[in-house]
Amino acid sequence: MADDTDGDMDPDLVRRAQGGDRGAFEALAAAAYPRLQRAALGVMRDSQAAEDATQQALIAVWRYLPRLRDPLRFEGWSYRLLVRACYAEAKQRPRWLPEAAIEGPGGPSGPDDTSTVVQRDQLARGFARLSVEHRTVIVLRHMLDLPQEQVAEALGIPVGTVASRLSRALRALRAALEADERVTAPAASHGEPAR
């Protein structure tokens, strides 16, 4: 059974920030920023959109922090604000992104063998084809390794809905990967470069 508390955020720091202590909020925001940015990049698949969503989430954290009833729930609550910011940002951005804008959450990596690079590229293309809702549930559950209870809290949905949404998202990702494989396989077999 999952713990009722979120992460390792100091509840005293959260309480001080709730009381208007700007220094406490700055420390809270600095501690939260890396995990929020990583989640936003996973969901948005575009570094500028992820940065915008993260900044909007931190503004919402500052604005609504006094309303947070349980400081021990700060991490899940801040993910919820981030998800809302990502959804709002996605509505303002075009659906299509140039290939150069699609990066993994860790950004470019060092030298890699060709098959791994190809697999990562296929996965990135498949992931980019998913809806923002499907990307969000996959990022929260699998990339950030949050328990389903925290994913449910972040999305504002029941735990059972998390399981079904995750199942649909993974099926959609599998279908996108299979479609990509069908498109690239014939081109590669004819000596043409795969696209």
CB atoms under 10 Å from CB of 90, counted, come to: 21
Nearest to residue 157, comparing CAs of 56, 45, 79, 63?
A: 79
- Does 5 score more than 50 pLDDT? no
- pTM listed for this prediction: 0.73
Residues 85-104: tens digit of each pLDDT: 999 998 887 654 444 344 44
Domains delineated in the chain = 11-189 (1.10.10.10)
